[in-house]
């Protein structure tokens, strides 16, 4: 299948076929599933001519190439790169585009690991970051300085599920000569395609929905611009944090069911969000699929779905949160998200513990804010589990 013919296929077909077509050439075996190429080096007959373009597996590996071809096809991009983790992908973007003295504009409500990378790693190399609200592109523009090199977005944001108008941010970035990076981990290319909205770079933690089974770590970068790709690909090879072949195989396998999984994740998440909205112990629910979300219309305009992650805030104190979380049976109390199993966590003490307390308070990450990655289990079991845990938490509130 050619690149152009793949582009004509529907998403679910691309998720299965792109990058993994059977090889019918002389001597090939016609594998339906791409083989796992574990060789670290590749022999050649002619000194100056690598066989098939392969010379060393850090630079290029057939299994990784299959995955990268599929990722590009799903994000409507020209090129994709697979990394050993989402943070490795982010690090490669930063070292490629921002030098000492440079400045980054990012959302205030940002994955804790990304904020830690900006504020506790790259700041040591003379790179600064300003954090702004997601909803106001004007606030982004006001934060631009002569040293600004890129704008970094998550939409929805983590953990408060704020949205940014990606198309408006892209127009701003183009007008001011900046690079726009969008982390699309939460919605995946099934529900949202930031490149189509004008973004320059899309990043993913493939550990989440793309892998989908909580058993493989990975990151991805997808772009359209050829010069930008060459710059990033050089550093992918030079830095070397590439995804190993077996992990590429697992991720390829996970991607085959992405369309099915995302539909069920969303169906269950919407049911959970509506259930929580009706509970007296719940102060508010953050989920773009709810009509009560202040950016519900934007969510419908720039994405085809709302995803499987939501957050909500309980009445009470940290003791209330702990009583609720520690009385769940089906929801696993664990960091990460996007697996087939339902996960739940307390950002203030878990995923965002590396964000200082003052910044958490300013953003709105309280000790009663809970983030949920709704899995694909039976919804009746999930709701019953939440109901039991809320009853336990209510007893704590009543004794205070």
What is the per-residue pLDDT across 18-56, written as a single tens digit (0 to 9) for each?
A: 998 888 877 778 888 989 999 999 999 999 999 999 999
Same domain, 240 and 325: no
Q: Helices marked H in the chain — which ranges?
A: 3-7, 11-17, 62-74, 86-97, 112-116, 137-143, 166-175, 188-191, 226-239, 245-255, 258-277, 296-302, 318-325, 357-363, 379-399
| pLDDT confidence tier of residue 3, bands split at 50, 70 and 90 | low
pLDDT of 2: 65
Q: Under a CB-based contact definition with an 8 Å cutoff, are residues 127 and 153 in contact? A: no
CA distances in angstroms from 50 to 41, 134, 244, 375, listed in the order given: 10, 47, 20, 45
Peptide bond into 156 cis (omega under 30): yes
**Statement to judge: residues 262 and 250 lie in one domain:** no
Cis peptide before 247 (omega within 30 of 0): no
Q: Residues 280, 244: one domain?
A: no
**Across 336-355, average pLDDT:** 93
Same domain for 248 and 263, yes or no, is no
Please state, in angstroms and rounded to a whole number, the distance separating the CA atoms of residues 256 and 189: 13
Q: What is the pLDDT of residues 176-231, one digit of tens each?
A: 999 999 999 999 999 999 999 999 999 999 999 999 999 999 999 999 999 999 99
Active site residues: 58, 111, 183, 208
Q: Are strands 179-183 and 201-205 parallel, antiparallel or unpaired?
A: parallel
Domain around 7: 3-255
Q: Are residues 249 and 129 in the same domain?
A: yes
Assess whether 124 and 166 both reside in one domain: yes
Say if residue 262 is in the same domain as residue 246. Answer: no
Pair 306, 220 in one domain: no
Question: pLDDT tens across 72-84, in order?
Answer: 999 999 999 999 9
Widest Cα–Cα separation across the chain: 79
Continuous segment of H or E residues that includes residue 33 = none
Residue 22's pLDDT is 82
Tally of structural domains, the chain: 2
CA distances from 203 to 2, 106, 163, 172, 279 (A): 25, 14, 16, 19, 36
pLDDT at position 400 over 60: no
3-state secondary structure at position 24 = coil
The tokens describing 50, both together, are 């690598």
Q: Looking at the predicted structure, is the pLDDT value of residue 134 above 80?
A: no
Contact 195, 202 (CB under 8 A): yes
Residues 190 and 235 in one domain: yes
Q: Could you write out the DSSP letters of every residue in 372-399?
A: EE--SS-HHHHHHHHHHHHHHHHHHHHH
User: For residue 141, what is the domain's CATH number?
Assistant: 3.40.640.10
Output the domain CATH number for residue 316: 3.90.1150.10
Q: Is 338 exposed, middle or buried (0-12, 13-18, 19+ CB in 10 A)?
A: buried
In this structure, the answer to whether residues 220 and 346 fall within a common structural domain is no
- For 255, the token pair is 């991607």
Q: Which residue has the higher pLDDT, 395 or 384?
A: 384
Answer with the one of 230, 255, 280 that is the final residue of a domain.
255
What whole-number distance in Å separates Cα of residue 293 and Cα of residue 205? 25
Last residue of a domain, one of 206, 227, 255: 255
Q: Which of 12-26, 47-61, 104-118, 274-288 has the highest mean pLDDT?
A: 274-288
Q: What are phi and psi of 252, to 5 degrees?
A: -55, -45
User: Is the same domain home to 219 and 263?
Assistant: no
Which of 187, 222, 255 corresponds to the end of one domain? Answer: 255
Same domain, 195 and 296: no
């Amino acid at each position: 299948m050619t690149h152009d013919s793949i582009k004509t296929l529907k998403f679910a077909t691309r998720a299965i076929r792109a990058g993994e077509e059977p090889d019918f050439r002389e001597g090939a075996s016609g594998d339906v599933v791409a083989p796992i190429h574990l060789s670290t080096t590749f022999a050649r007959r002619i000194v100056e001519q690598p066989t098939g373009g392969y010379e060393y597996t850090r630079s290029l590996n057939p299994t990784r190439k299959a995955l990268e071809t599929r990722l590009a096809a799903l994000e409507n991009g020209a090129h994709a790169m697979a990394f050993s983790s989402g943070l490795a992908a982010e690090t490669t973007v930063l070292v490629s585009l921002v030098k000492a003295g440079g400045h980054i504009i990012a959302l205030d409500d940002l994955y804790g690991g990304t904020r830690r990378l900006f504020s506790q790693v790259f700041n040591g190399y003379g790179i600064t970051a300003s954090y702004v609200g997601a909803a106001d592109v004007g606030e982004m523009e006001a934060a631009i300085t002569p040293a600004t090199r890129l704008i970094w977005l998550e939409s929805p944001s983590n953990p408060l599920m704020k949205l940014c108008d990606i198309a408006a941010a892209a127009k701003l970035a183009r007008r001011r000569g900046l690079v726009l990076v969008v982390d699309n981990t939460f919605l995946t290319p099934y529900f949202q395609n930031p490149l189509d909205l004008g973004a320059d770079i899309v990043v993913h933690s493939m550990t989440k929905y793309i892998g989908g089974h909580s058993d493989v770590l990975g990151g991805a970068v997808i772009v359209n611009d050829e010069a930008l790709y060459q710059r990033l690909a050089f550093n992918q090879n030079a830095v070397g944090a590439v995804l190993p072949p077996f992990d590429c195989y697992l991720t390829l396998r996970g991607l085959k069911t992405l369309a099915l999984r995302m539909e069920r994740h969303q169906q269950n998440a919407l049911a959970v969000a509506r259930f929580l909205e009706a509970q007296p112990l719940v102060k508010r629910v953050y989920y773009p699929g709810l009509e009560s979300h202040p950016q519900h219309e934007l969510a419908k305009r720039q994405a085809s779905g709302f995803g499987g992650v939501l957050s909500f805030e309980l009445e009470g104190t940290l003791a209330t949160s702990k009583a609720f979380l520690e009385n769940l049976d089906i929801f696993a109390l664990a960091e990460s998200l996007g697996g087939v199993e339902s996960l739940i966590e307390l950002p203030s003490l878990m995923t965002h513990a590396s964000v200082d307390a003052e910044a958490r308070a300013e953003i709105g990450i309280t000790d009663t804010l809970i983030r949920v990655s709704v899995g694909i289990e039976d919804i009746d079991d999930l709701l019953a589990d939440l109901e039991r845990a809320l009853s336990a938490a209510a007893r704590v509130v009543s004794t205070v």
